[in-house]
Amino acid sequence: MAQPRVSLRRLCRLIPSQNSRLYTSRINPHWQSLKCLPRNSQRLLHNSPALASPSGDKVSGQKLREEWAQYSQFPSASKAADFVEGNKVTVHGFLLRRRVKSSKLVFADIQVENGPSVQVTSTFKEDGSPEQLVTKALRAVPLYSPVSVTGTVARLHGNRIDLNLDRIQSLNAFPKDIIVSEGVQFPASARHLQIRFSDPLRSRLLARPQIGFQLRKTLNDLDFTEVETPILFKSTPEGAREFLVPTRRRGLAYALPQSPQQYKQILMSSGIRGYYQFARCFRDEDLRADRQPEFTQLDLEMGFATGEDVMRTVETLVTQLLPALNAQFNVIRQGDDIYPVPKRDLNNGESTENGDHQWPEPTAPFLRLTYDEAMTRFGIDKPDLRIPFELHRVDHVLPAQFVSMITHTEQPIVEAFRIRPQFDGETVTPGTIAEFVDKLMDQLPKPLANNPDGAPAALMFNSKKPLCGLSSLGFEGFDALTSMEAFSDLEDGDVLVFQARKNAPFQGEGSTALGVARTHFYRSFVSAGLLPQSFDLKFLWVVNFPMFTPDDGIDPGQGGQAGFKATHHPFTAPLTEADVEMLATDPLKARADHYDLVVNGVELGGGSRRIHLSSMQEYVMRNILKMTDAGLAQFSHLLEALRAGCPPHAGFALGFDRLVAILTHTDSVRDVIAFPKSMKGEDLTVKSPSKMTAQQLETYHLAIAKKEEVNKQDV
């Protein structure tokens, strides 16, 4: 589908022209001309000088009323059951394409939202006949205009309908100054046009509610209760920065919820056994491709339940979702884009067209890895299991000279992985792979290139070179490395990547440098065609996270004085009785009953068993995290709810935007959100956030601090 380019320099008002007539075989009203407001005009029509002149008021008003009547009065669309060959039907949509075969024969495609494709045919034999007027009308309507089309069903085949045109009505002529061309993107300020003219974007937005519907259906079948919780919450130190909402009451503000976490735990004390909602959440965080300041999560909580119960429930959600989507959608490829389209048979039968791909249908139970195992084998707490290589510790077999070449860290841990590219010996050879790797190393992302423990080092196995291209390891290093099982079968073209890191246990960090490099190299090799692209969905659970993580100075944490913060949030329960004992002796070694759902290197969601005893919750906050009395008082509502006989409970939050992005084959959640924020947190469609006016500042008892004052407070 063509990608459009737009120039939004003029605001057009449509006073109908002959190009915008309502044509049928019986009706042919007279229409007026098309005019445009000046290029810098943003005024409403009634502010136009032409309309404001005394002599033009009555005439212009009459024209607008006639225009409104003829644009707004149109026949209703026919029901699906009416589409039988020989029947006269009406469809609504956009005039997408027009093919003029001759002066007497025109074909056109009508874009019908979430329905079958519609082709209309208009032809005539005699000049002056009603059919000629209809054909003329079809040729006159500007492309991309919304239209109402009435015609006789000539043929039904698959998901396409052929109509013989009887009547076409333009409902709002598409302006000439918006240019539609192949492969050009609209600016973010014209998101409505991007949605309309981008098949992949529009299809993903259409798939999104269907994914939500299937998840909601499963939860309803499992007797969960959907409960809406407030958006206007209060500020509490859960771990992320919040958005504050000032009020007209001096000194008082709401906070937008980071999640419904505290409300859903209170609901457990209210006696609701299974809760869920599609919750809007807000976090004032640094933005990335997979992160927005406001987002949607599928939130759930289960009373009288453990983490095992929650994980089984989530597995049921996922394993029932994928077959349902395969029944409703085809997954197609259009250029570099892969996205789902509905199986659009008119009478809800199965489509005769097959997609290029189907969603894999996983089976439960999903694989489980502990946090330590994931970090050791993959260097990341959300591993992509499609990547066909793991990390291996090799510092014990490497010569000290080689280690000193790749790092200045004292007594480091050195790990390595092996990539085996696919090559045909003609266009892709060991030589071309070596050139590709050299270029890849020269263009490493800054976090890898500037890693304080040293950048990664890459060597390629080549049997025609001394020590097969691994001469920097020396004879002993070469023999020791190739005697390891992981590297005993090296072949020409194999690439070895080495990376050093500090010799320290994992303490809740999300990845190591080599874990990041593993993902970067895999994606780069796939993009270059040196590894096959995989459409598998590799689900797994990562469990047994550290309960606490040392402060990093980035996230505010819980504001305690302990020097560490809750890895998940402060309401997460210890994993075992031994971990409860560890709280008093070495909190950083205590493990949490915390579990993350990961697929293809993306954390889809996380959950935990909660602390359901008020005394234990207060102990963790006061004695372990060393929160102040004022900080603890911010959670008094939750502590009181736990004290009121709250049952054991556990829950989970599924990142709905991320799930939709994964299932619709895009790397960015912006592609599955109708009006996403930019990397600066701005909505460029409506130009938000906007500057506060003096009146607003006065109403909400606010003042803008000078930069010097802010800097003093930061110090």
Tell me which residue has tokens 């996230």.
555
Q: 323 and 221 share a domain? A: yes
- The mean pLDDT of the chain is 89
- Binning pLDDT at 50, 70 and 90, where does residue 289 land? low
| Pick from 96, 216, 91: nearest CA to 654 | 216
User: What is the 3-state secondary structure of 255-271?
Assistant: ECCCCCHHHHHHHHHHC
d(CA 633, CA 365): 41
Are residues 301 and 268 part of one domain?
A: yes
Is the residue at 687 inside a domain?
Answer: no
Domain count, the chain: 3
Q: How far is CA 476 from the centre of its chain?
A: 49
Which pLDDT band holds residue 65 (cuts at 50, 70, 90)?
confident
Residue 634 within any structural domain of the chain: yes
Q: Indicate whether 572 belongs to any domain.
A: yes
On whether both 491 and 560 belong to a single domain, the answer is: no
pLDDT at 401: 95
pLDDT digits (tens, 9 = 90+) for 517-548: 999 999 999 999 999 999 999 999 999 999 99
* Residue 325 and residue 214 in one domain: yes
Whether residue 492 sits in one domain with residue 558: no
What pLDDT score does 19 carry?
Answer: 37
The answer on pLDDT for 10 being more than 80 is no
Residue 121: per-residue pLDDT: 97
For the segment 680-696, the average pLDDT, to the nearest whole number, is 95
- The CATH number of residue 510's host domain is 3.30.1360
In a domain, 24, yes or no: no
Could you read off the pLDDT of 91-126 as tens digits, one per residue?
Answer: 999 999 999 999 999 999 999 987 788 999 999 999
pLDDT given at position 623: 95
Report the pLDDT value the prediction gives residue 354, as an integer from 0 to 100. Answer: 66
Strands 105-111 and 35-36: unpaired
The full 3-state SS of 12-73, as one line of letters, equals EECCCCHHHCEEECCCCCCCCCCEECCCCCCCCHHHCHHHHCCCCHHHHHHHHHHHHHHHHC
Q: What's the confidence (pLDDT) of residue 145?
A: 96
Mean pLDDT throughout 158-163?
89
Shared domain check, 572 and 659: yes
Spatial neighbors of 226 by CB under 8 A, at least 6 apart, are: 216, 219, 220, 275, 276, 277
Number of DSSP helices (H) and strands (E) in the chain, helices first: 20, 28
pLDDT at 150 over 90: yes
CATH number, domain of 570, equals 3.30.930.10
pLDDT digits (tens, 9 = 90+) for 209-238: 999 999 999 999 999 999 999 999 999 987
The larger pLDDT score, comparing residue 324 to residue 9, is at: 324
Question: Is residue 508 located within the same domain as residue 557?
Answer: no
Q: Out of 29-43, 179-193, 376-390, 523-537, which region has the weakest mean confidence (pLDDT)?
A: 29-43
Question: Do residues 325 and 424 both lie within one domain?
Answer: no
pLDDT of residue 238: 79
pLDDT at 356: 80
Q: 276 and 340 share a domain?
A: yes
Beta bridge partners of 331: 340, 357
What gap in Å lies between CA 20 and CA 143, rounded to an integer? 11
Q: Is 181 in contact with 2 (CB distance < 8 Å)?
A: yes
Is 591 contained in some domain? Answer: yes
Which backbone phi and psi does 524 adopt, to 5 degrees?
-65, -40
What are the tens digits of pLDDT across the range 589-641?
Answer: 999 999 999 999 999 999 999 999 999 999 999 999 999 999 999 999 999 99
What is the mean predicted confidence (pLDDT) over 360-379? 97
Which CATH number goes with the domain that contains 166? 2.40.50.140
Least confident piece of the model among 29-33, 44-48, 150-154, 657-661: 29-33
Confidence of residue 53 (pLDDT cuts 50, 70, 90): low
Which position has the higher pLDDT, 71 or 397? 397
Give CA–CA dist 179/174, Å, rounded: 10
Rounded to two decimals, the pTM is 0.87
Q: Are residues 132 and 269 in the same domain?
A: no
Residue finishing a domain among 533, 551, 582: 533
From CA 678, how far away is CA 266, in angstroms rounded? Answer: 35
Instruction: Tabulate helix, strand, coil % of the chain (nearest 5).
Output: 35, 25, 45
Q: Which two tokens stand for residue 612?
A: 């359901």
224 with 293, same domain: the answer is yes
Dig out the tokens for 177 from the structure: 């100054």
- Report the alpha-carbon distance of residue 179 to residue 189 in Å, rounded: 15
Encoding tokens for residue 510?
């999300």
**Other beta carbons within 10 Å of 496:** 20
d(Cα 558, Cα 278) in Å, to the nearest integer?
26
Same domain, 230 and 321: yes
Q: Which residues contact 704 (CB under 8 A, 6 or more apart)?
A: 692, 697
Full residue range of the structural domain in which residue 511 is found: 387-533
Asked whether residue 140 is domain-assigned, the answer is: yes
Quick check: 161 pLDDT over 80? yes
Enter the tokens of residue 634. 């911010």
φ/ψ of 139, rounded to 5, equals -70, -25
- Which pair of tokens denotes residue 228? 């809406």
- For the segment 371-398, the average pLDDT, to the nearest whole number, is 97
- Is 167 part of a structural domain of the chain? yes
Q: Report if residue 111 sits inside a domain.
A: yes
**What average pLDDT does this structure show over 566-572?**
93
Name the β-bridge partners of 98.
108
